[in-house]
Structure 1
């Protein structure tokens, strides 16, 4: 197999399109083989040869090379990192943004390969190329082909999974009409989940970035689509987005709870069989109770949203969430002693009593809450 791979790599440099195409095709299949075979393509200089071949050819040959690069990146995290560190991405982006390529029959493999190479986020790509990639991906979102649209949205989502201080999120937000198009794509069944992930990664940025997404009308559009028949994966995406909004500014918490029927949606959805959804709704409620203004805190305590809190306290494996819940309870009592009676009414104090013996941090908060109550009287 070593000899065959080396021979195929040499064939990529033969100045004859059919030979180069067939060599790239064979390497595409090798990249789907066990990891040891795929890694030998990299070990023997296959990445450099593939990129050189793509730079010197076009049409079917170049398309096959991009497919091979996508398969190599898909093999393992190390292979993906090596493809990311090569000259593949700048070359692919330059092809993507070239005039008329959007109408090319070869665009599908390029967009798919691009999404595989940057899957999970990209740190090594200069922001100039990030902006260019977004410029090239935006018109793809208007094509009729749902599959290529989904791949393009996932590529945007991975760019927005920002590990470089918010610059890549800003690049998405600053690409004309891109944010609005992502929200529109929530309406299409096939593109909804990818669009939710892209929008969720944007919302997970800083407060100003979150606000930009909210200003574009995400909340009402998203919650119109939320319902009991929605697939579980899409519900998970939405509740994750809600928890991040609730972790934002007081203005963003207000916008969240000004959404029609939001308390009923949260409480009704909390009581389902999916643990991840319950956890995200728990984070949504607790983040809101922690960060809300005094007026919004009163509003929340007068609503039924507190009914989920004792159940959150019983999510024994979610230590961070429980700690945050204890902090929220303490803050509520500090803001207004009358909240103590509301907490009692929703069985929250009883839930604290039940876990106080096994959780030292809970015991400390319990003592503080009781002390505040006694001191007040």
Structure 2
């Protein structure tokens, strides 16, 4: 039976849940590679501000720069021009429109094609990445410039630096919404990602991959297809094995996004990922604990069988010490998780009782913040609705014992 018919508690306020998770707007999730640019400027010893003054607002200078960037017969001058464009676009008040109006986008697309040098490709892809990090109209111009299929091919390129930057650029395009996401995925991005996660990569590259998968998984309407969800599972399993906190956190939230859609919970369960997510509840990093519990909480909003798959992974053994953890968000997530277990079968309710969790649940009902108390109240309510007479009587005894001993 679908537990949605048994007083399932999806968290009551999904907007509130998203605020707890730290989700931000589309624009903020796009990444402009500006910090790295600043570091490289020191090495190159270039006075970028002086060059901006020389180039703008004189559009003729921008045209000359475009001509130099398009001149493949002089590769050194071409590389220097593309590098200068990249430096300009990396600035806070970048002259993006002026450069685009002078024909820079098709030139950059030409520069990323496979017959060019990796160094030229890197500078051009880097520039496209930063343009795509801007407002939607700029992202759209990059997406429709012919760059996307080339960028997807570059993800499989032998030069890891170029591949890393290419997937960064694609991540910014994907993050512009479901239409851009499906447009990029239509060029076959998933297989190159699967190939990459099996390779030995710098951790910064792996973080980019996890971030891009997170963008693919975002819960837009329409959600990403079930086929894509299935295809990307092997990459998620590999990424969860990393010890890097950022990689693991982004990967858990990608899985969390998939499991917010009820039709995809079974795909996650069948992938064999659940035991690994459960093990991450024991992480030393609180944010990873919170993310793991929230992700598993989505799964237990599903059917009784899906809930049992989580319980069979020994999740409840972590909770006796975590139910009263000083981190309020973690406690909220755990109470929400347990409220959904109590909407399950009598045997599942008994597992919670046998794990010794009723006393800390009752203490949260008494001493937690408002949200914790609300979620703990749902635990009690669902137990009363779905538990056996013996289980309800046991809960009443625990309540009385706590009341007379506080």
Q: Given the two structures, how large is their TM-score scaled by the length of structure 2? A: 0.70
Contact residue 286 and residue 325 of structure 1 kept, 8 A: yes
Q: Distance in 2 between matches of 1:275 and 1:133?
A: 39
Matched, 1:172 2:228: yes
Contact residue 246 and residue 285 of structure 1 kept, 8 A: no
2:382 corresponds to: 331
Distance change >3 Å, CA 46–CA 220, structure 1 → 2: same
Q: Distance in 2 between matches of 1:90 and 1:174?
A: 30
Matched, 1:139 2:195: yes
Distance change >3 Å, CA 24–CA 182, structure 1 → 2: same
1:300 corresponds to: 352
2:110 corresponds to: 56
Q: Tell me the CA shift for residue 32 of structure 1.
A: 3.5
Distance change >3 Å, CA 324–CA 268, structure 1 → 2: closer
SS at the partner of 1:304?
A: coil
Q: Distance in 2 between matches of 1:263 and 1:90?
A: 52
1:234 corresponds to: 288
Q: CA RMSD in A?
A: 3.3
Q: Tell me the CA shift for residue 325 of structure 1.
A: 4.3
Contact residue 170 and residue 209 of structure 1 kept, 8 A: yes
Q: Distance in 1 between matches of 2:397 and 2:55?
A: 74
Q: Distance in 1 between matches of 2:200 and 2:382?
A: 51
1:362 corresponds to: none
1:11 corresponds to: 65
Q: Tell me the CA shift for residue 86 of structure 1.
A: 2.1
Cα displacement string for residues 222-272 of structure 1 (whole angstroms, at most 9, x for unaligned residues): 3345535x3333223212212212222221111111113x21202222333
Distance change >3 Å, CA 125–CA 312, structure 1 → 2: farther
SS at the partner of 2:179?
A: coil
Instruction: Specify which of 154, 157, 170 is matched with residue 102 of structure 1.
Output: 157
Contact residue 153 and residue 195 of structure 1 kept, 8 A: yes
Q: Distance in 1 between matches of 2:275 and 2:385?
A: 33
Distance change >3 Å, CA 150–CA 276, structure 1 → 2: same
SS at the partner of 1:26?
A: helix
Q: Distance in 1 between matches of 2:189 and 2:361?
A: 44
Q: Tell me the CA shift for residue 163 of structure 1.
A: 0.4
Cα displacement string for residues 147-174 of structure 1 (whole angstroms, at most 9, x for unaligned residues): 22221221112101130233x1524324
Spell out the pairing of 1:116-131 with structure 2 (5 A cutoff).
116-119=172-175, 122-125=177-180, 127-131=182-186
Q: Distance in 2 between matches of 1:159 and 1:214?
A: 19
Q: Distance in 2 between matches of 1:302 and 1:238?
A: 22
Instruction: Specify which of 199, 205, 215 is matched with residue 270 of structure 2.
Output: 215
1:268 corresponds to: 321
Contact residue 111 and residue 121 of structure 2 kept, 8 A: yes
Distance change >3 Å, CA 189–CA 21, structure 1 → 2: same
Q: Tell me the CA shift for residue 101 of structure 1.
A: 4.2
1:369 corresponds to: none
Spell out the pairing of 1:1-377 with structure 2 (5 A cutoff).
1=52, 4-5=55-56, 6=59, 7-8=61-62, 11-14=65-68, 15-17=70-72, 18-34=76-92, 37-38=93-94, 40-42=95-97, 44=98, 46=100, 49-58=103-112, 59=117, 60-74=119-133, 79-88=134-143, 91-98=146-153, 101-105=156-160, 106-119=162-175, 122-125=177-180, 127-131=182-186, 132-146=188-202, 147-166=204-223, 168=224, 170-175=226-231, 178-190=232-244, 191-206=247-262, 208-227=263-282, 230-260=284-314, 262-290=315-343, 292-313=344-365, 314-318=367-371, 322-335=373-386, 336-347=388-399
Gaps of 5+ in 1: 355-377
Contact residue 20 and residue 53 of structure 1 kept, 8 A: no
Q: Given the two structures, how large is their TM-score scaled by the length of structure 1? A: 0.75
Distance change >3 Å, CA 322–CA 52, structure 1 → 2: farther
Distance change >3 Å, CA 169–CA 294, structure 1 → 2: farther
How many equivalent pairs are there? 334
Q: Distance in 2 between matches of 1:196 and 1:102?
A: 27
